[in-house]
């Protein structure tokens, strides 16, 4: 069990607030009701940070640690972290890891010490999934509130609800009930993993379009010369006609991926054929993210670029591969 910090390890004080991450992996294990006859659990405090401070370097180092554990014969890995970036960390791990052992990410919505704290139950469920034969080669999974989600579909959808995590597109792929794991998905259609050739994180900007937005903002971002740009556009793949030239200028300089700001559903490819439509964006060289939201589209583009791929056709193929799994 690799602990990174977050709410699951941030107890509240007498006043009901928290300002410390003093709980480590061994402390978290001590809260569980799972006996040694069920699993031999080895806790490790990998990081002690809130999830907003987790970055590319932390996740790539975590992926390497999990590879090392897999080589050493560990049967499964559970990662605990804060929930604010949990969906991103889990998805990036899924893109980087090619191990067969189960890898399960979990956290908590309520701090230790609060009534109804959910961390112990989530951690116990995650351990049970990591021990499950059905989770072998299934890719990175997220377990929260008794539900099992694929890393590439899960989203945090609420600020504080215990049921904050959902997979809008297809729903959870399983559940944990009375210590029994029910998983309805396997590795049969997993997309390829990516191996960074450099430790440096690609600079990819995420930009969300909005009512009456100013194309000068797109030009300003382009002027910063990032390695790539992801644009959250309207509906099924539309932008205002006022923005198309700025997006064209950006696409001439870097890979530009567009995804829906709605957060769910696949982009159109052939329905609209007017300035700012999905057809227009495709002709201008923008790359469709299909069903990925902006957070995950950015991470996939970063993983592809970090692996040394710069060709637009190959980048587009990487997004098509994700769409088919």
> CA–CA separation, 52 vs 85, rounded Å?
6
Asked whether the predicted pLDDT for residue 170 surpasses 80, the reply is no
When mean pLDDT is compared across 229-238, 268-277, 293-302, the lowest value belongs to: 268-277
Confidence of residue 325 (pLDDT cuts 50, 70, 90): confident
- Residue 212 sits in the same domain as residue 102: no
pLDDT tens string 29-80 = 887 766 555 788 999 999 999 999 999 999 999 999 999 999 999 999 999 9
Is 197 a domain residue?
no
- Residue 220 sits in the same domain as residue 156: no
Q: Which CATH number do you get for residue 55? A: 3.40.50.1170
Number of domains in the chain: 2
Is 298 a domain residue?
yes
- Residue 146 sits in the same domain as residue 9: yes
When mean pLDDT is compared across 88-102, 165-179, 225-239, the lowest value belongs to: 165-179
pTM metric for this prediction:
0.93
- Residue 57 sits in the same domain as residue 105: yes
SS3 call for 144: strand
* Contact criterion met (CB below 8 Å) for 135 and 185: no
Is 190 a domain residue?
no
Is 199 a domain residue?
no
* pLDDT at 237 (0 to 100): 95
Q: How many residues does the chain have?
A: 325
Collect all residues with Cβ–Cβ distance below 8 Å to 53 and sequence separation of at least 6: none
Asked whether the predicted pLDDT for residue 118 surpasses 70, the reply is yes
- Residue 283 sits in the same domain as residue 174: no
- Residue 173 sits in the same domain as residue 38: yes
> CA–CA separation, 207 vs 218, rounded Å?
8
- Residue 249 sits in the same domain as residue 135: no
| Residue 46: C-alpha distances to residues 4, 289, 294 (Å) | 5, 32, 28
Is 71 a domain residue?
yes
Is 47 a domain residue?
yes
Is 238 a domain residue?
yes
* pLDDT at 15 (0 to 100): 62
**Hey, what long-range contacts does 311-317 have (CB within 8 A, 24 or more apart)?**
312/255, 312/285, 312/287, 315/255, 315/257, 315/287, 316/287, 316/288
- Residue 218 sits in the same domain as residue 166: no
Higher-pLDDT residue of 316, 29: 316
- Residue 297 sits in the same domain as residue 228: yes
Mean pLDDT of the chain: 92
CA neighbor of 127 nearest in space, from 112, 143, 145: 143
* pLDDT at 222 (0 to 100): 97
Asked whether the predicted pLDDT for residue 184 surpasses 80, the reply is yes
- Residue 51 sits in the same domain as residue 157: yes
Asked whether the predicted pLDDT for residue 153 surpasses 70, the reply is yes
- Residue 172 sits in the same domain as residue 210: no
- Residue 166 sits in the same domain as residue 295: no
Is 231 a domain residue?
yes
Q: Which CATH number do you get for residue 215? A: 3.40.50.40
SS3 call for 182: strand
Q: Which structural domain, as residue segments, surrounds residue 310?
A: 204-323
């Amino acid at each position: 069990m690799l602990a990174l910090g977050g709410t699951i390890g941030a107890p509240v004080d007498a006043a009901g607030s928290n300002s410390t991450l003093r709980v480590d992996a061994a402390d978290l294990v001590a809260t569980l009701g799972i006996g040694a006859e069920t699993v031999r659990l080895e806790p490790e405090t990998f990081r002690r940070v809130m999830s907003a401070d987790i970055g590319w370097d932390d996740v790539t180092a975590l992926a390497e640690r999990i590879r090392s554990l897999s080589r050493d014969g560990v049967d499964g890995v559970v990662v605990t972290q804060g929930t604010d970036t949990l969906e991103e960390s889990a998805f990036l791990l899924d893109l980087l890891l090619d191990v067969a052992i189960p890898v399960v990410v979990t956290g908590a919505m309520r701090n230790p010490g609060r009534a109804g704290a959910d961390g112990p139950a989530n951690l116990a469920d995650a351990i049970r999934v990591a021990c499950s034969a059905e989770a072998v080669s299934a890719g990175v999974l997220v377990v929260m509130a008794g539900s099992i989600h694929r890393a590439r579909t899960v989203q945090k959808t609420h600020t504080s609800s215990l049921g904050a995590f959902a997979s809008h597109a297809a729903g959870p792929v399983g559940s944990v009930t009375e210590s029994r794991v029910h998983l309805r998905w396997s590795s049969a259609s997993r997309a390829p993993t990516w191996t960074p050739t450099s430790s440096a994180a690609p600079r990819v900007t995420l930009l969300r379009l909005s009512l009456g937005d100013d194309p000068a903002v797109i030009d300003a971002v382009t002027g910063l010369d990032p390695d790539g740009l992801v644009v959250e556009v309207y509906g099924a793949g539309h932008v205002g006609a006022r923005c198309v030239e700025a997006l064209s200028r950006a696409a001439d300089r870097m890979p530009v991926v567009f995804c829906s700001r709605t957060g769910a559903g696949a982009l159109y490819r052939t329905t609209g054929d007017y300035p700012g439509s999905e057809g227009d964006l495709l002709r201008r060289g923008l790359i469709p993210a299909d069903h990925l939201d902006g957070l995950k589209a950015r991470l996939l583009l970063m993983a592809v670029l970090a692996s040394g791929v710069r060709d637009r056709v190959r980048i587009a193929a990487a997004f098509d591969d994700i769409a088919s799994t």
